[in-house]
Amino acid sequence: MAGAIGRKGAGAKINHFESFKMEALSPLKGGAGIAILGRFKPIKKLGEGRFGKVYLVEDLKTGEVYALKESKDPLFARQLLDEAQNVLLLHHPNLVRLHHYFLSKDRKRIYLLYEYCDGGDLKAFVEKLGRPLKFGEALDVLYQVASGLAYLHDHGYVHLDVKPENVLLKREGEKEVWKLGDFGLLKTRGFSGILDVKGTVGYIAPEVFKGEIHRSSDVFSLGCLLYYMLEGHHPFKAEDPRKELALNRRGIIRFPKGLEPAFRPVFAKMVKINPFLRYRTAGELLRDLEKFRAG
């Protein structure tokens, strides 16, 4: 379970988790705060999700910073372990990279060490901008997220939670790279178990409410993501949450403002109610997106 992390200090590696003190928090020398796993100094809390809390941490050995997802609730340890084991070997520039995970010996606590995306999420980005994105801007984000999603689809996975909060920005010099993250609902293609719908209303493909999932379910969510970028809200927005849910179940989406007329056939195919009439995979969608980027 050991793995290399960081870029500072060539060859720096994390040892097997058994060598760490598995107390969640242990004092640093001199009383200068706390260290998670005796190695990672929390800088600030980044958020809290269904499976646990996320902190910005500094590796005390290398000086690198990461996003550390922590769950001490035994009820969620299994889900996080599944996430870690699925994502650890997935490497793509438009997917948030999982560097390592740590599991306590009693298997009740787990920590996932992800790359830190300093630009925040897409929702915060749009809100800070104070306006919906222009079509060209939205197309660039869509292309990058679809690229990461196509990689997942090619490797037999369905993400099931594509939404603005799970699209993160990382600045690499002057380049802005958008990455798809939060793999807590990740399922393998052909998943046949009982599906407990836990996606976000506004971005869920209609068939998912019936316990049916396809790679094209993620493509529908991408359509909802594009709608959000061009309108500033998801396509099923309503004052009553129950109405939002009902509208999302029906899955009827109108064309968003700012959508270029030439792109309408692509958008319409992304959000078909029938999952078999959509783009089957994000890879199929990418081929059409390439035409617009080239143009």
Domains and CATH numbers, the chain: 3-115 (3.30.200.20), 122-294 (1.10.510.10)
For residue 146, pLDDT beyond 90: yes
For residue 20, pLDDT beyond 50: no
pLDDT per position as a tens digit, 97-120: 999 988 777 777 788 899 999 999
pLDDT per position as a tens digit, 35-59: 777 889 999 999 887 667 899 999 9
Average pLDDT over residues 73-92: 80
What confidence category does residue 18 fall into, taking pLDDT thresholds of 50, 70 and 90?
very low
Is the Cβ–Cβ distance between 70 and 61 less than 8 Å? no
Q: Report d(CA 35, CA 29) in Å as an integer.
A: 10
Question: So what's the pLDDT on residue 39?
Answer: 87
Question: So what's the pLDDT on residue 179?
Answer: 98
- Which of 161, 182, 240, 288 is labelled catalytic? 161
For residue 189, pLDDT beyond 80: no
Percentage of the chain beyond pLDDT 70 is 83
Query: Which phi and psi angles does 208 have, rounded to 5°?
Result: -65, -30
Q: Report d(CA 154, CA 117) in Å as an integer.
A: 24
Average pLDDT over residues 81-89: 81
Q: Report d(CA 195, CA 227) in Å as an integer.
A: 26
Question: So what's the pLDDT on residue 42?
Answer: 93
Average pLDDT over residues 247-260: 97
Question: So what's the pLDDT on residue 190?
Answer: 63
Does the active-site annotation cover 161?
yes
Higher local confidence (pLDDT), 71 or 171: 171
Q: Report d(CA 148, CA 186) in Å as an integer.
A: 13
Average pLDDT over residues 22-26: 37
For residue 32, pLDDT beyond 90: no
Paired strand residues for 58: 41, 65
For residue 4, pLDDT beyond 60: no
Higher local confidence (pLDDT), 211 or 194: 211
Q: Report d(CA 236, CA 252) in Å as an integer.
A: 8
Question: So what's the pLDDT on residue 209?
Answer: 94
For residue 10, pLDDT beyond 50: no
pTM of the predicted model as reported, rounded to 2 decimal places: 0.84
Q: Report d(CA 88, CA 271) in Å as an integer.
A: 31
> What b/e readout covers 279-291, taking b as 16+ CB neighbours within 10 angstroms?
bebbbbbbeebee
Distances (CA, A) of 255 to 149, 221, 226, 248: 23, 15, 10, 15
Q: Give first-to-last CA distance, the chain, whole Å.
A: 46
For residue 188, pLDDT beyond 80: no
Average pLDDT over residues 15-35: 40
What confidence category does residue 8 fall into, taking pLDDT thresholds of 50, 70 and 90?
very low
C-alpha angle 217/79/64, rounded to 5°? Answer: 95
Mean pLDDT of the chain: 84
Q: Report d(CA 261, CA 20) in Å as an integer.
A: 57
Question: So what's the pLDDT on residue 11?
Answer: 35
* H or E stretch at 116: none
